[in-house]
Structure 1
């Protein structure tokens, strides 16, 4: 990992995410780019355009000042790690801009705060801007809730559906965990016990595909998959949940309306989203 991009709107949640990015960058010697996006106004007259241009120019100046101060603060706080930090101010939509930058500038990870709020469950969990970034980019995304404490990770949980793509995602999760010396547990939650032969085949295949890692598997039986995962995370004091993002599957269930009454714990837990190759 060489380059991390960290969008910020200067909120407390965004600043907390920047702290996590600094910890990660310090471990691997990666650079950090702080990104602030200004939204272009809708214009209907020439006069409106002139006023909007002046407002946008002022917003850009203020954003650059804040980014400069934030980068200086991080450099001083993490002086021992010799962090390389730069910053950008762009006029665009956040999801579009992060997608463009990750694809053209070779960023390896997005670290972004999750504030909550909004009308849909997905927006409540990660915020509409964060959801837009997750949907648009292909590189791993680390979402950081406001209440998550910036500290090296110790126990990570990967939510598995016994799918062939798990090998791809797990390789990235395990490499990320190695940076912190963190333990990774592969957890499958289902309403009833899985067919043993299927579980054994899955585990053996992963051991063959990932021979350099000690893999630990757990199966949780619970009538509600998401509630079962929530309970497991709480009991094990996990500090990160990693998931594979697909069009359907566990990630989809995580954002379903049935999860709306079970947000309390997850809202405090960073999530590492690995996109399906």
Structure 2
């Protein structure tokens, strides 16, 4: 992991996500880029013409002050392990985040999520889920209350598909940096027995990791996948939950379900989502 981009609106949730990303970056000695997208408004330029301008409440001066303030808050022992810089652009939030991600080529995009419902909660949740679905790199959503205290247990939500191997390899490499254990979790709904063969194939592929107690496989029965995952996260003290967005992946299947968006908006642990392109 060489580069982490943190998208910020300078909210408390974004600040917490920034500190979380700095801690991650220190473990990988990565570059951490703090990205702010200043919203724009249409201003009447006369003669019926309109031009884009930064909203007055989001001026460049204010953003630069925030950049300096947040950089000053990075603990010295962490700052010496990362390379830090800032980026500021203006435009529609989602499209500019996606455009910036394409330009910067990070290993991960980090975004913060407020947990207490408020007027803008639905808008923020839609922004994050839209970015997740369209972003070209993995996205980590950090709840406001999720303070970085190390990572000991990672839950990987799986449907035992081929794409799981590619993503799981990256998760295991990430886990190795923290000496963390990866829990592959599959929620089997009532009457669903067709995944046993695929499960055995995946287990054989990772037998060495299982032997060293760095990986295990868990199949649970729950009527609803989200409820089952939340229960597992709580009972096993999971520090990070990982999902895929492809059509057969857990997140991909549940994205249009209100419960899936609720998981993004109200998860108690960071949610790391991988985008896997469908192969022909």
TM-score, length-scaled by structure 1: 0.84
Cα deviation, 1:137-166, whole Å, max 9, x if unaligned, reads 111111100111222111100000011100
Q: How far is the alpha carbon of 1:169 from its aligned partner?
A: 0.9
Q: Report the Cα distance in structure 2 between the residues aligned to 1:71 and 1:166, rounded to whole angstroms.
A: 37
What residue is the counterpart of 1:94 in the other structure? Answer: 93
Greater helix percent: which structure? 1
Distance 1:58 1:198 in 2: 51
Aligned to 2:11: 11
| Unmatched tracts of structure 1, length 5 or more | none
1:184-263 to structure 2, matched below 5 A, reads 184-192=182-190, 194-195=193-194, 196-207=196-207, 214-247=214-247, 249-257=249-257, 259=259
What TM-score do you get using the length of structure 2 for normalisation? 0.84
Distance (whole Å) between structure 2 residues aligned to residue 105 and residue 230 of structure 1? 33
Gaps of 5+ in 2: none
Query: Offset of 1:210 from its aligned partner?
Result: 11
Q: Is the 8 A contact 1:125 1:263 kept in 2?
A: no
RMSD: 3.5
Distance in 1, Cα, partners of 2:75 & 2:6:
15
Q: Give the distance between the partners of 1:126 and 1:208, measured in 2 at CA.
A: 41
- 2:180, 2:214 within 8 Å by CA — same for their partners in 1? no
Deviation per residue, 1:167-190 (Å, 9 max, x gap): 011111111111211110111111
2:255 and 2:261 in contact (8 A); partners too: no
Partner of 1:175: 173
Greater share of residues in strand: 2
Q: Distance in 1 between matches of 2:94 and 2:23?
A: 24
| Aligned residues between the structures | 274
Q: 1:151 aligns with which of 149, 159, 162?
A: 149
CA 1:47/1:25 → structure 2, altered by over 3 Å: closer, same or farther?
A: farther
How many angstroms apart in 2 are the aligned matches of 1:50 and 1:244? 41
Contact 2:8 2:111 in 1 (8 A): yes
